[in-house]
Structure formats: structure tokens, C-alpha cells
Structure 1
Amino acid sequence: MIYGITLIILGILAAPSLLLAKKPNAQELLDKITPYQGWIGLAFCFWGIWGVIQAVLNMSMLTTWPIWWITWLASSAVEAVLGFILGYGMISRLILSKNEEAKKKGEALLAKLAPMQGKLGLVGICVGAWVIVASILFY
């Protein structure tokens, strides 16, 4: 259930136009979070990668709980991608700056993902809501 809640929060951070359209004073809240966006994105990126690794290592769940396993893998993947997009500046500064080739690959990946940020934010919100429902139904 924690994955679902955090994924919804991450989706809202990735698609701020949704929040701004619903609440006019949401810009103040987003302005407060913006300085920490890099750290938040970095943490979610690693947490999502860790979730993907755990899902792959626990692939035996696919035979007994296929919907839950697919949900786990999808939520972790979306969380890793959104975390990468939001935390790219921090990831670049802390990790990719040591290797020029890795930095170029990271920039290329960001260039492909950045135009889809809003849509991925919506996907994150939907998958996060499904994770909450699935955790109640299947876990």
C-alpha cells in the first residue's frame, strides 16, 4: 500500500498541471517542494529500481499471484522512471558526473522521457490507485 501512496504523490509531482487545475493555491505547495524535488526523485528512482529487482528475484510469485506480481513490477518500473525524470539533476550531479559516457546516455534517456512526463505522471497516479486496490484485494 505504501508503493501506491508514494506512486500517487510522485505522479502528482510529475504532472503538476493536474494539481494546479484543481486547486489554485497548489502552486505555493509545489514551490515549497521544488527545492527537494531532486532528492525526492533520486530516492524514488532507487526505490523503484530496488522494487524491479525484488520482483524479478521473486518471479515464482507469478505462478501463484500473477496479478499481484504484475502490479508489483509495473508500480516499481513506473516509480523508477518517474524518479529518474524528477531526480535527473541530482542523479547527474552525484552519479553520472564521474563518467562522461554515462552522462551522455543519461541525457539521451531524459530527452526521450521528458516529453512524456505528464502522461507518465497520470500513469503513476492510476497505477498507484490500482496498487492500493490490489493490496486490499490480493494481499
Structure 2
Amino acid sequence: MSLSHPIAIPENEIEFSQIRAQGPGGQNVNKVSCAVHLRFDIGASSLPEHYKERLRKLNDQRITRDGVVVIKAQQSRSLEKNKADALQRLQELVESVSALPPVRKPTRPTRSSQLKRVEGKLIHGRVKSLRGKIVE
């Protein structure tokens, strides 16, 4: 999804904290904190109000009840690459709510579709009546 004017999120609204990565990595994993927790408070951000509303309504496990987006990035062994990955994922999350859902236009069933539906019900009813006991 590409937008003509992507939303820019100021750096001062994003909080990074370094943590130790999980999983294999040898001796280095116990010494170096190269994974990143990105925290972004939706309510305190400078995003437009309708973006904030849509973000809060998202059913996403990365968004807390308090309206804080928490993204953990630990794919790379480099702190800078993990920061860039977390920022990219935050940007994608915000851009996912920027697109408006299409407006639904109410429609009415056509006359022929109504007749077909009633015909199908009649046929089904006849088939079911044939399943009953035979009375002589």
C-alpha cells in the first residue's frame, strides 16, 4: 500500500529501550543488548485524531490497553538494524489505518434472484415432504 503523503512520526514521540535478545547467539548474547523495545504512546502523539481512533480500535496484540504500541525487534545482531526494523513496523502499522475503508452502498436483490430463492425453498420443501411416512 503506497500513500501519496506518508505520515511522519517525530523521533521525540518514540521511546527505545535496549534489551538482550532471546535465542541462540553464542557468548555474545549474554553480554550485548542488541534487541530493541519500541514504545509509542498513541494518545500523546501528534497523529491526526482519526488515526489515533483507528489505532486504538485495532485488535492488535502490540497495542496495550493504555494505548501504547510496543514493538520488539530482535531479528538482527545489530542494534541499528533492529531499530530500523522496529521503526519500519511502526510505520506500516500507522499506514495500515490511514486507508479509509470503502463505503458500502446498500443494494436490493433483483426480482429474478428473489424468485429463484422462493423456487429453491419450494423445491426443498417438496423434497422434505417426500421423506415422511407413506399413509395408505
Question: Which TM-score band applies after superposition, normalised by the shorter structure?
Answer: under 0.3
Larger relative contact order, structure 1 or 2 (CA cutoff 8 Å, min sep 6) = 1
Larger radius of gyration, structure 1 or 2?
A: 2
Higher helix residue share: 1
Higher strand residue share: 2
